[in-house]
Each structure stands twice: as C-alpha cells, then as structure tokens.
Structure 1
Amino acid sequence: MNISSFDDLLQAARQQTEPQRLLFVFTRADLPADATLAQRERFKDGQGGALVPIMCVDKTPDELRTFADLAEESRQFGQEWHVVFATAMSGNGGLVPSSSAAEMPLQRMVEAIKAGNLGTLIPFDQQGQSLTLG
C-alpha cells in the first residue's frame, strides 16, 4: 500500500493481521551553531536545517481517529514541531505491543533521526501528508 497521508497509515495499520502499535517522533527544524551565512538565509526562507527530535509518543490505531487527534495532543506539550516521523510495531498472537515495549524502538527512532538514517520511517507534515525528504 502506498502511504501518502496519515489516514493511509491508519488504514494500513488497521488492516494488518496482527495488532499494531504506532510510534511517532516529532521534530523541529533547527540550524547548527556553525551554520554559514548562506545556510542561515536559506533557513530563514524555510529551507534547509536539520530535524531535531523534540518529543515522542506511541498509540494504537484505535486511539487515533485522524491526524487532527494526534496534532491536537501534541499541542498540549507546547512544543512547535515541523515533521513527525512514524513507524509501526507488530503484535504477536493477537496481542498489541505494550507502551513499555515501545520505549526502546522509540529511542532507536530518535537516534536514527539524529543520525539522518530515515529509511524505514514515514515523515508527515503538519497537515498529515507524507513527505519526501532529501
């Protein structure tokens, strides 16, 4: 299935034979302290920079009806974000993975984002549309 929106992600998760837990890492665009003047100008125009993880959460597909639900919950933490990365954990034997089981995979997501290893993660913009980064 081609995932072009958050709704596609929810639909795909709900169609799996084993229950899923969705993992999300919210990021904001930032510039390193040693950025050049050209990089600073591009950043000011809304381009460039690095995505820095600022918060993460795990949810079952049943806990989210729409992207608006996730975005609204994120606003409760008072952190402005630009891109949210998502992936899923598959359950086993009909059991949904627990939140505690999601802690280590969420940490690995954070480290992958910091390192720029985004291969298996799906990025979404603030409207819930998937992005192509690079």
Structure 2
Amino acid sequence: MDISHFDDLLRAARAQPEPQRLLFVFVGAELPADATPAQRARFEAGEGGALAPLMCVDKGADELESFDALARESLQFDQPDRPWRLVFAAALAGAPGRAPTSADADAPLQRMVEAVKTGSHGAYIPFDRRGLPVRWG
C-alpha cells in the first residue's frame, strides 16, 4: 500500500479486519549540548537537531476524522517555543470483535517514545505538519 498522506494511513487502519488503535508521538528538535558551531548555525536556521518527543497520544481509528483534526487537536498542547515538527504514527491491532483500549496502548506507546529518543524509529511512519510522510536520506 502506498501512503502518500496521513489520511491514507487512516483509511487503511479503518479497512483492517481487526479494530485498530493509532499511536502518535509528536516530536520537536533540540540542539545537543555537544553540538558543533556548524550544527548550531544549521539549527538556528531551522534545520537539523536531535528528535525530542514532546507529547504522545493514542486514538481509535474511528475516533479520528483526518490529519487536519489531529493537527488541530495538537495545537492545544503545542509549545510556541518548541513546536512539534513531525508526528510518528503506528497502529495497534485488536482482537476479532475487540478494539484495543488506551490501557492496551500504554506500553506500546511508551516503547515508541523510547524508540524515537534513541533513533530507532524505523518501524514508525513520520509525517510532517502537512500530513505528508517524511522519507529519510
């Protein structure tokens, strides 16, 4: 399946035979303490930096209308001095006839936060603030 926008992921989650819960980790960028002068200059120009989780949330696939709805909701928690730049997404499948709950999502969501912190985020799809997938390298 080709995911060219966040809403494609949402449609795919809704089409699964088992109910899905979507997991999201919103990240900003921070400058590491040992940054070089060149890295500092890039960061001040709005580029580079290290990914830093800012907030996380889980939603049932049926609880979310669109990327725009998720982005609007995120504004309640967005920090003007540290806005989120990317949101990593993953899905948690339920059992036949049983949707996963927020309690079911707690541990996977925390593992996701830790994976993003350590740079081991390859299993998750990153989207920018427009809902477009980000391709690394």
For this structure pair, what is the TM-score category when the shorter chain's length is used for normalisation?
Answer: over 0.9
Alpha-carbon distance, 1:46 to partner: 2.3
Does 2:78 align with 1:75?
no
Match in the other structure for 1:51: 51
Distance 1:4 1:124 in 2: 10
Alpha-carbon distance, 1:100 to partner: 0.5
Match in the other structure for 2:115: 112
Alpha-carbon distance, 1:78 to partner: 3.5
Match of 2:29, SS state, is strand
- TM-score, normalisation: structure 1: 0.96
What is the aligned length?
134
Match in the other structure for 1:33: 33
Gaps of 5+ in 2: none
Match in the other structure for 2:3: 3
Equivalent in 81, 85, 101 of residue 88 of structure 2:
85
Equivalent in 94, 103, 108 of residue 106 of structure 2:
103
Alpha-carbon distance, 1:42 to partner: 1.2
Distance 2:78 2:21 in 1: 24
Alpha-carbon distance, 1:47 to partner: 1.9
Distance 2:59 2:123 in 1: 18
Gaps of 5+ in 1: none
Two-structure CA RMSD over aligned residues (Å) = 1.0
- TM-score, normalisation: structure 2: 0.94
4+ runs deviating over 3 angstroms: none
Match in the other structure for 1:17: 17
Alpha-carbon distance, 1:44 to partner: 1.9
- Once the two structures are superposed, residues 38-96 of structure 1 have per-residue CA deviations (whole angstroms, 9 ceiling, x without a partner) of 00111122221111001000001111111111111111113321000000000102211
Alpha-carbon distance, 1:99 to partner: 0.2
Match of 2:99, SS state, is coil
